[in-house]
Amino acid sequence: MVLLQRGGVKRILQHFYSGNHGNTKSLLPAADGAAGRRRNSTAVPDVRERTLIAVKPDGVQRRLVGQIMQRFEQRGFKLVGLKMLQVSDDLLSQHYCELRTKPFYPSLLHYMTSGPVVAMVWEGHKVVQTSRTMVGHTNPAEALAGTVRGDFSFHVSRNVVHASDSPEGAQREIQLWFQRKELLNWDCCDQTITCEL
């Protein structure tokens, strides 16, 4: 067995964090050189991507909140915002501004204000794209089994959950639904296990 001196271990860690190790690129920011200190969060911004997920009134009424949250936790994403609210018409009209001219818009507003919604912000590598895959097709009749909509719904008018559709859209929606102080920056203790090789 080879015993590594302290300096040697440090050099090897720096080598790995800097990405100079073939195909095994770290998803976390570069090390700052001091053991135990927080790493520079600007090196790989991708792990800080955020998305808005909301359990719609039908999902809350059907007590699906726990199962839906569990899927995001299980996937390894980090919860950074969570609240239950009765959504206002004003918030919804901004949230769904692109759908204002659709024939189903009035019934969509009625549906979304029919009871409480549980809104969440999840953070992680490619969380927007991955969440859309996990949530499934807008129309549950087209959604694959294994997706939230594919497992818990069958009609587009009651599709259980919302997920932002792009990083830009997510940013806009998060600002709409959450105040800055309602979002927490915290270190997940399993981060190096889920994000690094």
Chain residues that interact with ligand IDP, rule: CB under 6 A: 99, 104, 108, 138, 156-157, 159, 162, 165
Q: Between the CA of residue 122 and those of 78, 115, 117, what are the distances in Å?
A: 5, 22, 16
Nearer to ligand IDP, 44 or 170 (CB): 170
Could you give the 3-state DSSP secondary structure of residue 84?
strand
Nearer to ligand IDP, 47 or 117 (CB): 117
Active site residue 162: yes
The residues of the shown chain that bind Mg ion, judged by CB under 5 A, are: 165
Q: How far is the CB of 183 from ligand IDP (least distance, A)?
A: 22
| 104 contact choice in ligand IDP, Mg ion, none (CB below 5 to 8 Å, kind-dependent) | ligand IDP
| 109 contact choice in ligand IDP, Mg ion, none (CB below 5 to 8 Å, kind-dependent) | none
- Quickly list DSSP for 118-133: EEEEEESTTHHHHHHH
Nearest to 112 by CA among 69, 162, 66: 162
Nearer to ligand IDP, 39 or 71 (CB): 71
> Which element (helix H / strand E) includes 92?
helix 89-95
